[in-house]
Every structure is written in structure tokens, then in C-alpha cells.
Amino acid sequence: SFPTRCSSDLKGQTEGTLYADFIYNQALNSLGSDEVVAVLNDGSTNNLIVIACGDNKVYGYIIQGGSVQGSVIFRNDSLAGRYKAAIKYQAGLMRFFVNGVLINSTTPAGIPACNRIDIAKYPTIAQQGVNPINAICVFQASLTDAECEALTTI
């Protein structure tokens, strides 16, 4: 078992890197929909930086003020297995890495100020995912592309 909420030195930062190492198996998916792995947030669902998986995809997205600012999807028809994913975010930039590869980048209109992290659940929803999570880390700086590639290599 792991805690679903963590506090750290996240003080409204709008630049950083969210990393998750997890195993996904659709058969374990108890929610009947996609499962959240890690969510940086401000205690609401209006401001989020998310790594999630389900329906043969691993994806990351940013929501600020209730509107999607950036979304990137990695699709794999045989999704079951181990994944290392990272979202690198800073003003005007979101890059999504999965298993050592830059999947895509986008230019979000804004980055929300997040001060907490929820693990395997959204901040205001009690239901929690069940897929195994090996590690989650939040870097307070936006790592370089080379660092993100190395970090997410299996």
C-alpha cells in the first residue's frame, strides 16, 4: 500500500518534471475507465498535471482553470507492461517521454501552480486505481530532454 497524498516542497511551482514508473494491466483496471498514475494539483480538478493510462494508451495532460492546455498520448495496442513516463513542463512547453523516447511536445497556453500530488487518484475523487506503482518523483526544475530520456529508459 502507498499513500494517496504526499506533501513536499511544491509551493505553487509552474516549472518542473513529473515522473512515474508503473505497471499497467488492463485486467487489473477496476474503474472501468482510464486510471490515473500521478496528479500534480492545487486540491481541485481545475488545475492538474497528469500521467494516466488505459484503453491501450499512456498519456499526459495539463489542465489550467478547468481547460485543457496540453495533451500528449502514447498508444500501444498491447499496453500491458512496465512504463516509465515523464512530463516536462515550463512556461510555453510540455514534453512527454515514455520508456526513453520523447513521444511529443506541445505548447500549453499556461501551466497551473500546483502545490500537492495525488497518487493513483484525482484530488476530489475517492476511487483509487489498483495498478502497481514502483516510483513517483517530482523534480522542481524542468529536466533536460537528455535527462528525461535517461530517467524514463527501462
Range list of β-strands (E), the chain = 5-6, 16-24, 35-41, 48-54, 57-64, 67-75, 81-90, 93-98, 101-106, 116-119, 133-139
| Per-10-residue mean pLDDT, the chain, length 154 | 47 84 76 79 92 86 90 76 93 94 91 89 74 89 94 94
Report the relative pairing of strands 16-24 and 81-90 from DSSP bridges. Answer: antiparallel
pTM confidence score: 0.87
State whether the Cα torsion 13-65-51-44 is positive or negative: positive
Count of C-beta atoms within a 10 Å radius of residue 137: 14
